[in-house]
Amino acid sequence: MNMIMNIRSKNIFSGYQKKWTYDPVSFLIIFLFFVNGVWSVSQISKTYDEDTHLEFGLSLLNGNAGRPWESVMPISAWNALPKFISAALPNGSVRDILEMHIAARIMSLLFSCGVAYLVFHFSRSFYGLIPAFFSLLLFVFDPNILAHSQLVTTDIYATGALLLTAFSTWRYAQNRNWSNRVLFASSLGFSLVTKFTAMSYIPLFFLILILHDWQRMRNGDRRSGENLRTFHDYVILAALTVVMSVIVLNVAYRFHRSFVPFGEYAFRSEVFDGFQKEFPLLNKVPVPVPYAHLQGFDWILAFENSGEGHGYHYFLGELRSGEGFPGYFVVAFLLKEPISSQIIIGLAVILYLLRQDRRSRFWKHEMFLFIPVAFYTIYFNFFYNSQIGIRYYLIIFPLLHIFAGSLFVDWAFLPKRAKLAGALAVVYLVVSTLSYFPYYLPYFNEIIWNRNNSYKYLADSNLDWGQGRDALQKYLIDNPDVSYPTRFVRSGTFVIGANDLVGIKDPAVYAWLRENFEPIDNVAYSYLVFEVTPDSKRELCLNTSYCAGK
């Protein structure tokens, strides 16, 4: 028995693999992920934000770094690259293809394939080959990942940046050479051009390193001069991170208006406006990053503080203005993450808590996964006011997928029933996810069995982000008797977007329809079809005040 436990203990964590491992099966899975994405992306409409992101990326490539909107980031230049290249080509089929919106979306997919491989490699470094396959499958068949990996937005880039930073932090903690030091600083610098949420990556992962070293010293590494060497190492790492971040930001924004004095900024947020007023000496200090970056960060702070700008927040049938709902993202995860993925993650957590041999590796391995997950779970659920979609929470998903793989580290010792259960869980995941093809963004798991009712729980970019507009137009052409409802009660067959129905912009407009009728069908899962008969209209007018004054 002791021999078996020793063998298991060695297999549980395979340790750091110095070389990137090649496995043809992982590449095949990632290739299928890419094909699925291309097939899907060719059938969905542009979402509301994509053109803005693409135009900003193209303007950056053309030398204009002005900021039209708080959420656009330099990483969108990657999506704009095909269109930028097309301008230098003669008229023809190649130019036409590069100018198509699908070309910009494929750039997001290519990046996502890289993230998928990093999930596989990270999980394999921790847990071994079989767990890495499970982690990869959970990632590539996660409908939320699929949905945002094919859009010209910044969410998948911030997700990949967090994963890369977690991986580089772990590598640096294991082996403090210059290549790992540069990788750590570069990953943080890259993160800054993906999404403003990534500003928090810098203090978070430095804190993780400090906690890792504190535990190492606490456990007996008290060699003479070790504390001094560690402090010296942190000084070098911090300086390198600052230098890399400044370089990356300036290159990304084409050095546009760098070193503008702090006092010349027109701030909107209370934080930066307060700094200008309370610390006048700062106003003369030149800011070493492009104007547009600090300006955008300021706009984001102002937006998050007010919670305004995108209409009402909607959650479980309730609307709020200017404030969020505690626990919003936890509930969104429970409703929009596939049930099989949740079961695997949950069982992995339970087994981790029960097995001392797994818990003993926390400071060496899982802390690099758990601490970011815990931090952003608390932050987004209780301190973040912009609750307009699970896409903000997406950054922690790959870390969960990696940890979920730990459930299968004893694969060689598992009984056949357990192996079969794991295989069936993956099959269930694939079937559940693909049942929404090609519209992965409005995915809800089987807790919401009737897909016509998804709007009763969540809306906004969880359900309706404009991705089904082409399907709506086709539906209206095929069904000429169907129309869009108005604020006035009338009979007929109507189709309406989920956001309009729940009242994201104006709760009163369609209240008569929302509060008195149930949808009979849907279009692309985000538009609801209602049937209002003359008799039901007559009864509504008789028993309510909705028809008054018409």
Note the pLDDT tens digit of each residue in 295-317. 999 988 887 776 555 679 999 99
Cα 121 to Cα 132: distance, rounded to the nearest angstrom = 7
Could you tell me the maximum CA-CA distance found in the chain, to the nearest angstrom? 88
Cα 220 to Cα 549: distance, rounded to the nearest angstrom = 80
Residue-level pLDDT at 309: 58
Residue-level pLDDT at 308: 58
Q: Do 472 and 355 reside in the same domain of the chain? A: no
Write down the number of H helices and E strands in the chain: 24, 8
Cβ proximity of 217 and 227 under 8 Å: yes
Q: Do 216 and 297 reside in the same domain of the chain? A: yes
Residue-level pLDDT at 218: 81
Q: Do 483 and 378 reside in the same domain of the chain? A: no
Note the pLDDT tens digit of each residue in 233-265. 999 999 999 999 999 999 999 999 999 999 999
Q: Do 402 and 533 reside in the same domain of the chain? A: no
Note the pLDDT tens digit of each residue in 491-529. 999 999 999 999 999 999 999 999 999 999 999 999 999
Average pLDDT for 409-433: 96
Residue-level pLDDT at 93: 95
Measure CA of the first residue to CA of the last residue in the chain; give whole Å: 81
Residue-level pLDDT at 301: 86
Q: 452 lies in a domain?
A: no
Q: H or E element: which one contains 220?
A: none
Of 399, 425, 451, the residue that ends a domain is 425
Average pLDDT for 465-475: 97
The structure tokens listed for 112 are: 């996502």
Residue-level pLDDT at 226: 64
Cβ proximity of 57 and 79 under 8 Å: yes
Residue tagged 């094909």 (tokens): 35
The structure tokens listed for 371 are: 């601490």
Q: Do 397 and 464 reside in the same domain of the chain? A: no
Cα 453 to Cα 33: distance, rounded to the nearest angstrom = 29
Cβ proximity of 195 and 73 under 8 Å: yes
Q: Do 257 and 367 reside in the same domain of the chain? A: yes
Q: 441 lies in a domain?
A: no
Please report which confidence band the pLDDT of residue 15 belongs to, taking 50, 70 and 90 as the band edges: very low
Cβ proximity of 42 and 125 under 8 Å: no
Cβ proximity of 501 and 528 under 8 Å: yes
Residue-level pLDDT at 1: 39
User: Identity (one letter) of the amino acid at 437?
Assistant: F
Residue-level pLDDT at 10: 43
pLDDT at 148 over 50: yes
Number of structural domains found in the chain: 2
Cβ contacts of residue 2 below 8 Å, gap of 6+?
Answer: none
Please report which confidence band the pLDDT of residue 65 belongs to, taking 50, 70 and 90 as the band edges: confident
User: Coil, strand or helix: which one is 496?
Assistant: strand
Residue-level pLDDT at 222: 56
Cβ proximity of 11 and 409 under 8 Å: yes
Residue-level pLDDT at 22: 60
Q: 436 lies in a domain?
A: no
Of 425, 443, 477, the residue that ends a domain is 425
Q: 444 lies in a domain?
A: no
Q: Do 260 and 394 reside in the same domain of the chain? A: yes
Q: 434 lies in a domain?
A: no
Note the pLDDT tens digit of each residue in 168-178. 999 999 999 99
Cα 503 to Cα 319: distance, rounded to the nearest angstrom = 8
Residue-level pLDDT at 17: 44
Q: Domain range spanning residue 513?
A: 459-543
Note the pLDDT tens digit of each residue in 329-372. 999 999 999 999 999 999 999 999 999 989 999 999 999 999 99
Which of 105, 76, 99 is closest to 86 using CA atoms? 99
Cα 125 to Cα 366: distance, rounded to the nearest angstrom = 12
Residue-level pLDDT at 306: 63
Q: Do 168 and 35 reside in the same domain of the chain? A: yes
Residue-level pLDDT at 66: 79
**String of DSSP letters for 169-191:** HHHHHH---HHHHHHHHHHHHHH
The structure tokens listed for 449 are: 């069995």
Peptide bond connecting 438 to the previous residue in cis, omega within 30 degrees of 0: yes
Q: Count the alpha carbons within 13 Å of 493 in the hemisphere toward its beta carbon.
A: 10
Q: 278 lies in a domain?
A: yes
Parallel/antiparallel/unpaired status of strands 482-483 and 318-320: unpaired
Q: 433 lies in a domain?
A: no
Residue tagged 């700062």 (tokens): 282
Q: 495 lies in a domain?
A: yes
Cα 501 to Cα 382: distance, rounded to the nearest angstrom = 27
Q: Do 237 and 376 reside in the same domain of the chain? A: yes
Which of 368, 343, 419 is closest to 13 using CA atoms? 368
Please report which confidence band the pLDDT of residue 209 belongs to, taking 50, 70 and 90 as the band edges: very high
Tell me which DSSP letter residue 327 carries. Answer: T
Burial of 337 (0-12, 13-18, 19+ CB in 10 A): buried
Average pLDDT for 101-123: 98
Residue bearing the bigger pLDDT, 142 or 357? 142
Residue-level pLDDT at 9: 40
Residue bearing the bigger pLDDT, 223 or 372? 372
Residue-level pLDDT at 5: 40
* Percentage of residues in the chain having pLDDT higher than 70: 93
Cβ contacts of residue 535 below 8 Å, gap of 6+?
Answer: none
CB under 8 A, 24+ apart: contacts of 78-81: 78/107, 78/111, 79/53, 79/54, 79/104, 79/105, 79/107, 79/108, 79/152, 80/54, 80/104, 81/57, 81/107
Q: Do 468 and 421 reside in the same domain of the chain? A: no
Q: Where are the beta strands (DSSP E) in 292-427?
A: 313-315, 318-320
Q: H or E element: which one contains 532?
A: strand 527-532
Average pLDDT for 56-74: 88
The structure tokens listed for 412 are: 């060689």
Tell me which DSSP letter residue 235 carries. Answer: H
Cβ proximity of 390 and 156 under 8 Å: no
CB under 8 A, 24+ apart: contacts of 515-522: 516/540, 516/544, 516/546, 518/452, 519/452, 519/453, 520/452, 521/452, 522/451, 522/452
Q: H or E element: which one contains 404?
A: helix 397-404
* Percentage of residues in the chain having pLDDT higher than 90: 82
Of 425, 449, 474, the residue that ends a domain is 425
Q: Do 340 and 488 reside in the same domain of the chain? A: no
Q: Do 330 and 474 reside in the same domain of the chain? A: no
CA 315 from chain centre, in angstroms, equals 19
Tell me which DSSP letter residue 456 carries. Answer: G
Mean pLDDT of the chain: 92
Quick one: the chain helix, strand, coil %, rounded to 5?
Answer: 65, 5, 30
Please report which confidence band the pLDDT of residue 228 belongs to, taking 50, 70 and 90 as the band edges: low
